[in-house]
Structures are given as C-alpha cells and as structure tokens.
Amino acid sequence: MGNRLSKIYTRTGDDGSTGLGDGSRVPKDSARVAAYGTVDELNSTIGMVLACDGVPPDVREALTQVQHDLFDLGGELCIPGMTMVQDEDVARLETVLDTLNEPLPALKEFILPGGGMAAACCHLARTVCRRAEREVLALGRKETLRPQPQRYLNRLSDLLFVVARVLARAGGHGEVLWQHERRRRD
C-alpha cells in the first residue's frame, strides 16, 4: 500500500464519483464499483461468521484464507488490468470443499438458512457471494475480465453452503429442512 490515509474523508466523492486503484475516476454506481463493493460486503459477512462462537479451527483457517483472497479479488476488480486471483486459489477452495463435505450426509431435502448463529451468518455470506458473482458477470459483459474471479466466487458459494452445514452440526442446532409437504396440492 503506497499511500497511507492520514485523513479518511477527502470530499472527492461528493460528486458521485470514486477513484479506482489506477487513479481513474468512475461513477460510484458503475458495474466495476458494484462488483468490488459486493466482494467487500462478502468479506464483511465472512467476518461475521468468524466472530461467532464455536467455529471449528479448520473452518476458521479456511475462512480466514478466503478473506485474504477476497481482499485480493477486490484489488483485482478495483485496478483494471490487475491479476491477483489464480487457478490455484480455485483449486484450493475445491480441496477444502471436498474435505469438509466428505463426512456430511447426502442431501435429500433443501436446507433453509438457519441452524444457529454461525450457520445463519454463513448462509447470508453464501447469498452475498452469489450476488458478487452476478456483479462480476455483469462487469464482464461490459469490460474484459479474466475467468478466475467468477470461477472463484462460484466455487466459494459452494464452499459457504457446505460450511453452513458443518457449522449447523458443530453448533448442535442441526440443519433446518424445507418442509415442502406442508402445502398439500389438491
């Protein structure tokens, strides 16, 4: 980080624009700002998961690494032409996902968001991740992007689903299954 902020407000964004990492200015509602802003929101929701009690050490380690990756991804999206997220990052998510998913029972029903505070926060992170993926896709329709950011977010949403299942069980709450039979069709 070349420049340290000594003053938090600059007033340069009062006109509805913001500075990208390369020094260019864009509207605050541009597709690029929406994409990296949602990645930042995702990182914050993962921080909420990590702030919960009872997060197993292996999950804590994996999610902390994800937070670092998301900071890199935000940087890649904030600086046009920057390359940060790599295929190896996607492969690492797949390895963690497989490891955490292996002991879980097969799903036969849909799961409702819930299962304790940590699991519920993780479900929220999963939905924000899906939105971040959509925002990156929308940006990619307007500007040239590498495929790794979208792949990373796609795999991360799967990981967050599995982590939510792990956390529901670790917290002793269990998963909340959707009761589709409650609406009988005549």
Structure confidence by residue, pLDDT tens digits, 138-149: 999 999 999 999
The token pair at 10 is 């600059």
pLDDT reported for residue 119:
97
Average pLDDT over residues 84-110: 95
| Cα dihedral: 95, 129, 31, 37 (round 10) | -100
pLDDT digits (tens, 9 = 90+) for 98-119: 999 999 999 888 988 999 999 9
| Cα 53 from Cα 181, distance rounded (Å) | 34
- Read off the pLDDT band of 85 (50, 70, 90): very high
Spatial CB neighbours of 157, under 8 Å, sequence gap ≥ 6: 126, 129, 130, 133
What digits encode the pLDDT tens for the residues 119-172? 999 999 999 999 999 999 999 999 999 999 999 999 999 999 999 999 999 987
User: Structure pTM?
Assistant: 0.90
Q: Count CB-CB contacts under 10 A for residue 129.
A: 28
> Average pLDDT for residues 88-98, to the nearest whole number?
98
pLDDT tens track for 12-68 = 677 787 777 887 787 677 899 999 999 999 999 999 999 999 999 999 999 999 999
